[in-house]
Chain A
Amino acid sequence: SQKIEQNSEALNIQEGKTATLTCNYTNYSPAYLQWYRQDPGRGPVFLLLIRENEKEKRKERLKVTFDTTLKQSLFHITASQPADSATYLCALQTGANNLFFGTGTRLTVIP
C-alpha cells in the first residue's frame, strides 16, 4: 500500500541548532516533492519544491534533499529560532497535480 511517513510526530530542538525532519515514502513515484509549514488554525504555507532529478535545494536557512533510490527527503532548518516552531508537512506530487501529504512533524524550538 502507499505510505508517506514523517519520522516523528514531534521534535524538540534547542534554539540555534539544526533541525532535521525526515519524509519516507513507499509505492509512489513522485515527480516532485514539496514541503509546507502549517501553524495551528491556519492553512499550509508552501516552503520548497524539489524535482525528482534534483538532489538538493536551498532557500535561506532551509535545505531539502531528495533521494529517489532511498525514497526519502530530508528537510533541514539551520540556526533554528522559536519562530520556526510549527508543523512541517511533506507532500508528494505524481503525474497529476493533486498532492499526497504526510501527517507532519510538530517542531518546537526551545529558547
Chain B
Amino acid sequence: NAGVMQNPRHLVRRRGQEARLRCSPMKGHSHVYWYRQLPEEGLKFMVYLQKENIIDESGMPKERFSAEFPKEGPSILRIQQVVRGDSAAYFCASSEGGGASNQPQHFGDGTRLSIL
C-alpha cells in the first residue's frame, strides 16, 4: 500500500484521553476517506473530505469524532474522550477523483487504536 501513509500504526490511549490519527494521501490525490474496521466486521465508512471541506460525514458518530483535511498537511481524524468501544482499526483511503466517479480508492495500512 505504498502511497497512502498513516501514522501512527498503533496507538494506545486510556479512557478519556484524545486520539489523533494522521493520513497523508497519495501524491496528486485530493479526496480522502476514513473507514473504521471492528474485529470480525466489515469496513464502515465514516467521512469523506476534500481539501479544506467535509463532503460527507454521514458515517461519523455525532459526538467526540471530528475530521479535517487542511490546505497544507495531512488529514486528521480526532477522537475526544475515548471509550473502550473506540478500539478498532482506522483506515484512510484516497482517490484522484471524487463524487460519482469510478476512481478506485487506495488505502493505507491503518492505525490500530487500543483503549485501556
Contacts and interface: CB of A to CB of B under 8 A. Distances in A.
Q: Do A and B come from one complex?
A: yes
Interface of A: 4, 31-32, 34, 36, 41-46, 49, 51, 89, 91, 93, 95-104
A96 B99 contact: yes
25 contacts: A4-B42, A31-B100, A34-B104, A42-B1, A43-B91, A43-B109, A43-B110, A44-B43, A44-B91, A46-B104, A46-B105, A89-B42, A95-B100, A96-B100, A97-B33, A97-B55, A97-B99, A97-B103, A98-B33, A98-B48, A98-B58, A99-B43, A101-B42, A103-B40, A103-B41
A88 to B, nearest CB: 12
Contacts of A98: 33, 45, 48, 56, 58-59
Given A42-B1, A43-B1, A45-B1, A97 B48 contact: yes
Contacts of A44: 43, 91, 107
B56 A102 contact: no
A97 B1 contact: no
Contact of B106 (A4, A31, A46): A46
B70 to A, nearest CB: 20
Interface in B1-51: 1, 4, 31, 33, 35, 40-45, 48
Contacts of B100: 31, 95-97
Nearest to B108: A43
Interface residues of B, number: 32
- The binding surface of chain B is classed by DSSP as loop
Contact of A104 (B42, B105, B107): B42
Nearest to A100: B45
Contacts of B1: 42-43, 45
A43 B107 CA distance: 6
Nearest to B101: A97
A41 B45 contact: no
Contact of A89 (B43, B48, B104): B43
A9 to B, nearest CB: 9
B74 interface: no
Contacts of B114: none
Contacts of A104: 42
